[in-house]
């Protein structure tokens, strides 16, 4: 439903812009033939900017086959135009509404101030152009400029053996048209420099094609961690039908895919249980089975990998102290840089980006500890190849005693 609402908003904005362009051309171009030619050119451009939607319809929104380079370039241009034109339309509508309101509220006739009017038009043009600058930056630069962010993961009663253990999370890689293997290799190098105890890969390894498995595995095979590298599947991995293939290829490269399973790690005089489940909607998730596997070798702390974060309340109620998830890309386009800022993803889930805590008193289980969830922004993109106020993220998590 949100997808169709966005498409409807985009179409409405294009109609509004065309009407503005036609009115502007009619006012400024006295020659009817030249005006008609310019209006036709404006209509042709707006029609051209619908073609990427047709391309995505033909090739699939999740790129089930590789996009030709021309289609990729067209989609990037479309992303810049779609976000920029929508933002500009909202600016123009807001200005028009304010102008009409001020005209109605003004009771005394005054002489027109030509200089002031020209100043306002110049300022309006600058503000209306700003969304295009922002969307261009998000499509061409920000989606490639990743950040390494450090977080403390406070846990009740954590032992000295586990205190200070580090986990690096990488999620929503989406190897494909807009995440080539060589770009993923730069993330791998950055992770290796952190020298983590564990690496957690929380799904969506490919955009949607089997051909993307090999470059993904080739890059991730260079990952290094002191104690282990673990993964769970995401919905795009299911869409591509690569569950078994990527599980096997990861195993060949010392990456353990946890599919409703658990592994125990002895650390000093304590232990950490790492659990993983399939995607909540597209896969065959079984938290009970993973918990039973963890119970065979109980750990002091249970860490659950789940692509979607909505498992958090159920996991906390089952005694899981830590959950790592992704899926929502932090919203991908946000009004501001803070994790809580508004984005489309906030219409879909309460768990978009960052750290969440479920205190002990909120968990029905009598002996339960507080439970923590971390939702990573991911490094790839889905839909439009753009990130605004939401750069790609490598999350470096350190376990601390609460």
What pLDDT was estimated at residue 63? 47
> Is the pLDDT reported for residue 122 higher than 70?
no
Q: 92 is written with which tokens?
A: 């123009």
The helix (H) or strand (E) run that includes residue 337 is none
Q: How many CB atoms lie within 10 A of CB 30?
A: 8
Phi and psi angles of residue 156, each rounded to the nearest 5 degrees, phi first: -60, 130
Give the tens place of pLDDT for each residue, 294-311. 999 899 999 999 999 999
What integer is the mean pLDDT of 161-165? 95
Nearest to 220 by CA among 207, 229, 211, 228: 229
Distance CA 269, CA 288 (A): 27
Distance CA 402, CA 350 (A): 24
Query: How much is the mean pLDDT over the chain?
Result: 88
In sequence order, the β-bridge partners of residue 358 are: 371
Instruction: Note whether 325 and 307 are within 8 A (CB).
Output: yes
Instruction: Note whether 207 and 382 are within 8 A (CB).
Output: yes
DSSP string for residues in 230-269: EEE--HHHHHTT-HHHHHHHHHTTT-EE-SSEEEEEEETT
CA dihedral 376, 349, 176, 277 (to 10 degrees): 70
Give the tens place of pLDDT for each residue, 192-206. 999 999 999 999 999
> Is the pLDDT reported for residue 56 higher than 70?
no
Give the tens place of pLDDT for each residue, 351-365. 999 999 987 666 655
What integer is the mean pLDDT of 241-259? 97
The helix (H) or strand (E) run that includes residue 276 is strand 270-276
Q: Which DSSP state fits 177? A: T
Give the tens place of pLDDT for each residue, 71-105. 778 788 888 998 999 888 888 888 788 777 777 77
At residue 62 the predicted structure's pLDDT band, cuts being 50, 70 and 90, is very low
What integer is the mean pLDDT of 137-147? 91
What integer is the mean pLDDT of 319-347? 90
What integer is the mean pLDDT of 222-228? 97
What pLDDT was estimated at residue 245? 97
Question: 248 or 12, which is more confident?
Answer: 248
Distance CA 313, CA 358 (A): 8
User: Given its phi and psi angles, is residue 297 left (phi above 0), alpha (psi -120 to 50 degrees) or beta?
Assistant: beta
Most confident of 72-76, 139-143, 175-179, 250-254: 250-254
What integer is the mean pLDDT of 334-350? 86
> Is the pLDDT reported for residue 141 higher than 60?
yes
What pLDDT was estimated at residue 335? 86
Question: 235 or 94, which is more confident?
Answer: 235
> Is the pLDDT reported for residue 186 higher than 90?
yes
| CA 347 distance to own-chain centroid | 14
What integer is the mean pLDDT of 177-198? 96
Separation in Å, CA 260 to CA 8, 194, 255, 351: 39, 28, 15, 22
What pLDDT was estimated at residue 214? 95
What integer is the mean pLDDT of 1-12? 75
> Is the pLDDT reported for residue 329 higher than 60?
yes
Q: Which DSSP state fits 369? A: P
Segments making up each domain of the chain, as ranges? 2-140, 146-401
The helix (H) or strand (E) run that includes residue 153 is strand 147-155
Alpha helices, DSSP H, located in 29-68: 32-48, 51-59
What pLDDT was estimated at residue 112? 55
Task: Classify domain 146-401 at the CATH topology level.
Answer: Purple Acid Phosphatase; chain A, domain 2 (3.60.21)
3-state secondary structure 119-134: HHHHHHHHHHHHHHHH
At residue 60 the predicted structure's pLDDT band, cuts being 50, 70 and 90, is low
Q: Collapsing DSSP states into helix, strand and coil, what is residue 175?
A: strand
Say what percent of the chain tops pLDDT 70.
88
Q: Pairing relation of β-strands 371-375 and 228-232?
A: unpaired
Tell me the HSE value of 57 on the side-chain side, using a 13 A CA sphere.
6
Tell me the HSE value of 244 on the side-chain side, using a 13 A CA sphere.
0
What integer is the mean pLDDT of 254-267? 96
What pLDDT was estimated at residue 188? 98
Question: 157 or 276, which is more confident?
Answer: 276
- Return the minimum-mean-pLDDT range out of 118-127, 175-184, 236-245: 118-127
What pLDDT was estimated at residue 32? 87
Alpha helices, DSSP H, located in 60-157: 69-105, 114-140
- Return the minimum-mean-pLDDT range out of 32-36, 107-111, 136-140: 107-111
At residue 383 the predicted structure's pLDDT band, cuts being 50, 70 and 90, is confident
What integer is the mean pLDDT of 1-15? 78
In sequence order, the β-bridge partners of residue 169 are: 200, 395
Distance CA 362, CA 48 (A): 53
Q: Collapsing DSSP states into helix, strand and coil, what is residue 181?
A: helix
Question: 98 or 63, which is more confident?
Answer: 98
């Amino acid at each position: 439903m949100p997808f169709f609402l966005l498409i409807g908003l985009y179409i409405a904005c294009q109609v509004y812009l065309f009407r503005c362009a036609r009115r502007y051309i009619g006012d400024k171009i006295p020659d009817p033939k030249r005006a008609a030619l310019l209006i036709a050119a404006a209509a042709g451009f707006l029609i051209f900017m619908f073609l990427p939607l047709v391309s995505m319809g033909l090739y699939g929104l999740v790129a089930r086959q590789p996009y030709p380079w021309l289609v990729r370039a067209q989609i990037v241009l479309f992303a810049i135009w779609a976000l920029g034109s929508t933002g500009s339309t909202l600016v123009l509508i807001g200005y028009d509404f304010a102008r009409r309101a001020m005209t109605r509220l003004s009771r005394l006739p005054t002489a027109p101030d030509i200089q002031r009017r020209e100043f306002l038009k110049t300022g309006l043009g600058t503000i209306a152009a700003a969304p295009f600058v922002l969307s261009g930056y998000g499509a061409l630069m920000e989606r490639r400029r990743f950040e390494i962010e450090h977080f403390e993961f406070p846990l009740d009663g954590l032992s000295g053996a586990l205190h200070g253990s580090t986990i690096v999370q990488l999620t929503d890689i989406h190897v494909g048209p807009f995440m080539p293997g060589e770009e993923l290799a730069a993330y791998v190098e950055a992770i290796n420099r952190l020298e983590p105890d564990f690496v957690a890969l929380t799904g969506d390894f490919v955009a949607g094609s089997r051909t993307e498995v090999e470059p993904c595995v080739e890059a991730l095979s260079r990952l290094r961690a002191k104690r282990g590298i673990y993964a769970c599947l995401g919905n795009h991995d299911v869409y591509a039908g690569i569950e078994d293939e990527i599980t096997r290829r990861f195993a060949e490269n010392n990456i353990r895919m946890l599919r409703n399973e658990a592994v125990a790690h002895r650390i000093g005089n304590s232990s950490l249980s790492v659990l993983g489940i399939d995607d909540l909607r597209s896969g065959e998730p079984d938290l009970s089975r993973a918990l039973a596997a963890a119970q065979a070798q109980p750990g002091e702390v249970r860490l659950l990998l789940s692509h979607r974060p909505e498992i958090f309340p159920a996991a906390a109620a089952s005694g899981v102290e830590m959950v790592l998830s992704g899926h929502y890309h932090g919203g991908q386009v946000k009004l501001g840089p803070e994790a809580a800022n508004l984005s489309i993803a906030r219409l879909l889930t309460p768990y978009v980006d960052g750290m969440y805590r479920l205190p002990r008193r909120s968990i029905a289980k009598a002996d339960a500890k507080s439970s923590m969830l971390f939702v990573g922004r991911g490094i790839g993109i889905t839909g439009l190849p753009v990130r605004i106020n939401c750069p790609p993220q490598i999350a470096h998590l350190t376990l601390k005693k609460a």
